[in-house]
Structure 1
Amino acid sequence: MKNTFVLLFALIANILMAQTATKEQILSELPELEITKDVNLHIISPEPIQYVDLSTQQLTGDLPTTNIARIRISDNIPADSKEKTKTPNSFSNGSTVGIITVVGQSFIAQYKAVYRNSENRNIATNIHIQPEAMQPIEFNKMTFSNLELAKFAMQIIQKKTDEKPIREQKNMKLSMQLNNVYVMSDYIFLDLTFENRTNLSYDIEDLKFSIEDKKIYKATNNQSIELTPIFRLNGQKSFRKNYRNIYVFKKFTYPNSKVMMIRLIEEQFSGRTIEMKVNYSDILKADTF
């Protein structure tokens, strides 16, 4: 019986490894990216880039934003370089300049950079990393990429909000509603709706989240701890009548003597500010999806 159990366990382990193992990349099978001198190639990632590797000093680049890697052929090769480098003018058409590796939150993508003459007008100046070029990276199961968080947030926002909200606050013909709270693994999703019952559009300066004392949260000696969402579905900065968004936080806790404060602040010197407090019991009653 013991030997049968060991064999069964080994069989299941092999099946799981076969399902989750990342296929090895072979140099000759890498997708090609065409690059030429004096032209930047922008590689656009669907999620924040964690790391970029350029295999030769003939390539250089930077990250102008979290989702874009900017690559070009280097004009300056260090004099003490041990590599057998070439200048941009000495590359032959179709020769390999180097390997570009881009690592996102949940994938790794590798490309072979191939030189093309600058006379070729069909060279792309930007490319989007396609799903077929992504190899999954096995991170901690509790960690979700921004793409996964966006997927979960879209599932929430597609739900109807006909039911009575958990919390609602009104002020100066504005209302803020906490429609629901959801939990997925170590992540907390807040589903918020804002309504503007005036004819003046509302320009958002900031939406602040903090943990503050329940009874004296406006006092000068109040201990306030700011909370920053790790992800928000929409980046909208103004709305005319209705605005709904999903805000995602890593798991947090706070005692019953404190509340979570949500403040919506308008731009400039407007007095149209609205705030709402959320008890910890509201968080503990969070739904799953």
Structure 2
Amino acid sequence: MIKNSIKNLMCGIFLFSSASTFAQTETPEKRVTDLTSLEISRGVSLHIISPEPIQFVDLSTNNLTGDLPAENIARIKITEVSDSDSLATKKDIDINDLGVITIVCQSYMAQYKVNYLDFKRDAVTNIQIQPEDMQPLEYPKLAFSSTELQKFSLNILRQKIINKPMREVKSLKLTMQINNVYVVNDYMFLDMTFLNSSNLGYDIDALKFSVEDKKIYKATNNQSIALIPVYQLYNQKQFRKSYRNIYVFKKFTYPNSKVMKIRLLEEQLSGRAIEMTVKYSDILKADTF
């Protein structure tokens, strides 16, 4: 509905993530009486905040209605009944049995038993999903949640760039460089830095990734396949002198007849742009962690 130190760091996180997410062979059985209770009043919305994106929410009765105002927030309230509603509809709304809220996220599920609170002034308007309420879900071995991808990306970002960039291009007082590429299971992490040696700040319109033909004989023969990151650490839209970010892709390959293109485009009116060509041999140099 609705490279070694970094390798060691990453391995530690990976093992921890794997153990916490995949170690269980089954989700423990829970009864309604085992669930954490939430109290809700008429006319007051309860916002349930998740540390990772919510996939869907199930409300077990018609007594509750809700929506997702943000990807990690579920908004729940008691169903409002107006004078124009039918008697049958009014009977369907039973404040003595508000039901169960089930929230399914990328790596866990949380469930709550909802009780009615008659004193509106004591009503809680928001809660955070706590670790003790998280039931781990089994996912395919190679799938990571946004929280896990963020952990990997932050640990890459904490490492100082010691070696020369794997690939670098300069144009219009702009520099684009790939510091390194890392691979974990079926994911590739591109560690990239953008430098601006001009006095004019750079407003990012788009950063585009694609796989294209190495040699183009006719413009109409060019085959371009867009690559969309499954995750990026920051969504920054402007930088003055430097900007470093991590872009995560599901692992991909391409033949020697093709190259990967990375284009940084600026918003109009300036419209400064810089483009980098990445050979597949560069991707093959990726570090594992």
TM range (shorter): 0.7 to 0.9
* Secondary structure, counterpart of 1:47 in structure 2: coil
Within 5 A, what are the aligned runs for 1:44-83?
A: 44-76=49-81
Contact 1:43 1:126 in 2 (8 A): yes
Report how far residue 213 of structure 1 moved: 1.2
Per the alignment, residue 107 of structure 1 pairs with 108
Report the more deviating stretch, 240-249 or 196-205: 196-205
- In structure 1, stretches of 5+ residues that fail to align are 1-16
CA deviation profile, 1:221-253 (whole Å, cap 9, x unmatched):
321110100100111111111111111111111
| Match status 1:86 vs 2:93 | yes
Question: Shift of residue 39 of structure 1?
Answer: 2.0
Quick one: structure 1 residues 220 and 269, their matched pair in 2 at CA, closer, same or farther if it must change by over 3 Å?
farther
TM-score by length of 1: 0.85
Instruction: Find the aligned partners of 2:281 and 2:88 in 1 and give their Cα distance.
Output: 62
Q: Provide closer, same or farther for how the CA distance between residues 123 and 82 of structure 1 changes in structure 2, counting only shifts above 3 A.
A: closer
Bigger RCO of structures 1 and 2 (CA < 8 A, at least 6 apart): 2
Distance 1:244 1:171 in 2: 18
Cα-Cα RMSD: 2.4
- Max radius of gyration: which structure? 1
Q: Which runs of 5+ in 2 are unaligned?
A: 1-21
Closer, same or farther in 2 for the Cα pair 1:230/1:53, shift >3 Å? same
Indicate how the Cα distance of structure 1 residues 124 and 159 shifts in structure 2: closer, same or farther if over 3 A, else same. Answer: same
Secondary structure, counterpart of 2:138 in structure 1: coil
Contact 2:204 2:267 in 1 (8 A): yes
Q: State the distance in 2 between where 1:101 and 1:218 align.
A: 55
Quickly say closer, same or farther: Cα 1:18–1:183, change in 2 above 3 A: closer
1:101 is matched by which residue type in structure 2? Answer: T
The equivalent residue for 1:263 is 263
> What TM-score, normalized to structure 2?
0.85
Q: Tell me how many residue pairs correspond in the alignment.
A: 266
Give the match's secondary structure for 2:150: helix
Deviations 1:253-272 (A, max 9, x none): 11111111111111122231
Distance (whole Å) between structure 1 residues aligned to residue 217 and residue 108 of structure 2: 43
Equivalent AA in structure 2 for residue 69 of structure 1 = A
Shift of 1:175: 0.5
Identity %: 62
Aligned partners of 1:96 and 1:112 also within 8 Å: no
Please say if residues 180 and 286 of structure 2, whose CA atoms lie closer than 8 Å, have aligned partners that are also in contact. yes
- Cα distance in structure 1, aligned partners of 2:275 and 2:218: 12
CA distance in 2, matches of 1:18, 1:257: 42
2:234 is matched with 234
Aligned residue identity for 2:250: K
The amino acid of 2:48's aligned partner reads I
The equivalent of 1:225 in structure 2 is 225
